[in-house]
Amino acid sequence: MGLPRTERIGKAAAGAWVLLASLLPAGTAAQQAPYSVEDILAAPFATDLVAAPSGSVFAWVRYDRGVRNIWVADGPDFVGRQLTDWTEDDGQDLSQLRFTPDGRQVVFVRGGGPNRAGEIPNPRSEPEPANQMVWVAPLDGTARPLAEGTSPAVASDGGTVAFLNRGQIYTLTLDGSASAGPLLRIRGSAGSIAWSPDGGRLAFVSNRGDHAFVGVFSLGDRSIRYLDPSLDRDGNPVWSPDGTALAFVRVPGEGGQLPFSPIRSALPWSIRVADPATGASREVWRALPGPGSAFQGVTGPALTWLASDQLVFPWEREGWRHLYAVPVAGGPATQLTSGEFEVEYVLPALDRESVYFSSNEGDIDRRHLWRVTATGAPEALTSGTGIEWSPAVTGDGVLAYLASDARAPAHAEVRTGAEGRPLVDGYMPDAFPFGELVEPRQVTFRSEDGILIHGQLFLPPESADGARRPAAIFFHGGSRRQMLLGWHYMRYYHNTYALNQYLASRGYVVLSVNYRSGVGYGLEFREALNYGARGASEYRDVIAAGRFLADRDDVDAARIALWGGSYGGYLTALGLARNSDMFAAGVDIHGVHDWNIVIRNFVPSYRPEMRESFARLAFESSPMAWIDGWRSPVLLIHGDDDRNVPFSESVDLVESLRKRGVLVEQLVFPDEVHGFLLHRNWVQAFERAAGFMDTQLGAVAAAGGLKP
Kindly state the average pLDDT of the residues 301-327: 97
Return the percentage of the chain with pLDDT > 90, whole number. 85
Asked if 416 and 555 sit in the same domain, the reply is no
Q: Mind listing the pLDDT tens digit for each residue in 592-631?
A: 999 999 999 999 889 999 899 999 999 999 999 999 999 9
Kindly state the average pLDDT of the residues 513-537: 97
Q: Mind listing the pLDDT tens digit for each residue in 645-699?
A: 999 999 999 999 999 999 999 999 999 999 999 999 999 999 999 999 999 999 8
**Residue 419 backbone phi and psi in degrees, to 5:** -130, 165
Enclosing domain of residue 128: 1-143+394-429
The answer to the question of residue 688 being in a domain is yes
Closest alpha carbon to 115 in 646, 564, 565, 670: 646
Cβ neighbours of residue 702 under 8 Å, at least 6 residues apart?
708
**Residue 526 backbone phi and psi in degrees, to 5:** -65, -45
Residue 589's SS3 state is strand
The answer to whether residue 109 scores a pLDDT higher than 90 is: yes
Asked if 415 and 523 sit in the same domain, the reply is no
Helices (H), 294-344: none
Helices (H), 466-581: 491-505, 523-526, 539-550, 567-578
Residue 293: its pLDDT value, please? 97
Q: What are the distances in angstroms from CA 201 to CA 84, 141, 198, 689?
A: 32, 30, 8, 53
Residue 32: its pLDDT value, please? 37
The answer to the question of residue 350 being in a domain is no
Kindly state the average pLDDT of the residues 440-461: 97
Contact 365, 453 (CB under 8 A): no
Asked if 583 and 615 sit in the same domain, the reply is yes
- From 377, 409, 429, the end of a domain falls on 429
The answer to whether residue 7 scores a pLDDT higher than 60 is: no
Residue 3: its pLDDT value, please? 41
Q: How confident is the model at residue 19 (pLDDT cuts 50, 70, 90)?
A: very low
Residue 2: its pLDDT value, please? 40
The answer to the question of residue 304 being in a domain is no
Kindly state the average pLDDT of the residues 286-298: 96
The answer to whether residue 708 scores a pLDDT higher than 70 is: no
Q: Mind listing the pLDDT tens digit for each residue in 31-63?
A: 334 899 999 999 899 999 999 999 899 999 999
Q: Mind listing the pLDDT tens digit for each residue in 136-191?
A: 999 999 999 999 999 999 999 999 999 999 999 999 999 988 888 999 999 999 99
The answer to whether residue 26 scores a pLDDT higher than 70 is: no
Cβ burial 350-361 (10 Å sphere, 16+ → b, else e): eebebbbbbbbb
The answer to whether residue 11 scores a pLDDT higher than 70 is: no
The answer to whether residue 13 scores a pLDDT higher than 70 is: no
Asked if 425 and 441 sit in the same domain, the reply is no
- From 376, 408, 429, the end of a domain falls on 429
- Specify which residues 72 forms β-bridges with: 59, 81
Cβ neighbours of residue 199 under 8 Å, at least 6 residues apart?
155, 156, 157, 160, 219
Q: State the chain's mean pLDDT as an integer.
A: 92
Closest alpha carbon to 527 in 257, 290, 261, 259: 261
Asked if 479 and 621 sit in the same domain, the reply is yes
Q: Mind listing the pLDDT tens digit for each residue in 343-360?
A: 999 999 999 999 999 999
The answer to the question of residue 54 being in a domain is yes
Q: Mind listing the pLDDT tens digit for each residue in 114-125?
A: 887 788 999 999
Q: What are the distances in angstroms from CA 252 to CA 209, 255, 363?
A: 13, 9, 35
Residue 256: its pLDDT value, please? 65
Residue 255: its pLDDT value, please? 64
Kindly state the average pLDDT of the residues 6-22: 35
Q: Determine what percent of the chain falls in helix, strand and coil, rounding each to the nearest 5.
A: 20, 35, 50
The answer to the question of residue 475 being in a domain is yes
Domain count, the chain: 2
The answer to the question of residue 337 being in a domain is no
Cβ burial 78-101 (10 Å sphere, 16+ → b, else e): bebeebbebeebbbbbbbbbbbbb
The answer to whether residue 14 scores a pLDDT higher than 90 is: no
Q: Mind listing the pLDDT tens digit for each residue in 250-266?
A: 999 876 678 899 999 99
Residue 23: its pLDDT value, please? 37
Q: What are the distances in angstroms from CA 157 to CA 79, 197, 545, 609, 627?
A: 29, 10, 56, 55, 61
The answer to the question of residue 444 being in a domain is yes
Asked if 574 and 672 sit in the same domain, the reply is yes
The answer to the question of residue 657 being in a domain is yes
Asked if 535 and 612 sit in the same domain, the reply is yes
Q: Mind listing the pLDDT tens digit for each residue in 482-495?
A: 999 999 999 999 99
Which amino acid belongs to residue 393? V
Residue 103's SS3 state is coil
Find the helix packing angle between 595-602 and 648-659, rounded to 10°: 170
Going by their DSSP bridges, the two strands 469-475 and 555-565 should be labelled as: parallel
The answer to whether residue 291 scores a pLDDT higher than 60 is: yes
Residue 176: its pLDDT value, please? 86
- Specify which residues 379 forms β-bridges with: 371
- From 375, 409, 429, the end of a domain falls on 429
Asked if 425 and 535 sit in the same domain, the reply is no
Which amino acid belongs to residue 163? F
Q: What is the rounded distance in angstroms from the CA atom of residue 535 to the CA atom of residue 683?
A: 35
The answer to whether residue 546 scores a pLDDT higher than 70 is: yes
Burial status of residue 513 (CB atoms within 10 A of its CB: 0-12, 13-18, 19 or more): buried
Burial status of residue 24 (CB atoms within 10 A of its CB: 0-12, 13-18, 19 or more): buried
Asked if 560 and 411 sit in the same domain, the reply is no
Closest alpha carbon to 634 in 611, 609, 618, 658: 658
Asked if 423 and 507 sit in the same domain, the reply is no
Going by their DSSP bridges, the two strands 509-514 and 452-458 should be labelled as: antiparallel
What's the CATH code of the domain at 477? Answer: 3.40.50.1820
Cβ neighbours of residue 136 under 8 Å, at least 6 residues apart?
105, 106, 107, 108, 143, 144, 146, 161, 174
Asked if 457 and 515 sit in the same domain, the reply is yes
Asked if 669 and 551 sit in the same domain, the reply is yes
Q: What is the rounded distance in angstroms from the CA atom of residue 148 to the CA atom of residue 164?
A: 9
Kindly state the average pLDDT of the residues 532-553: 97
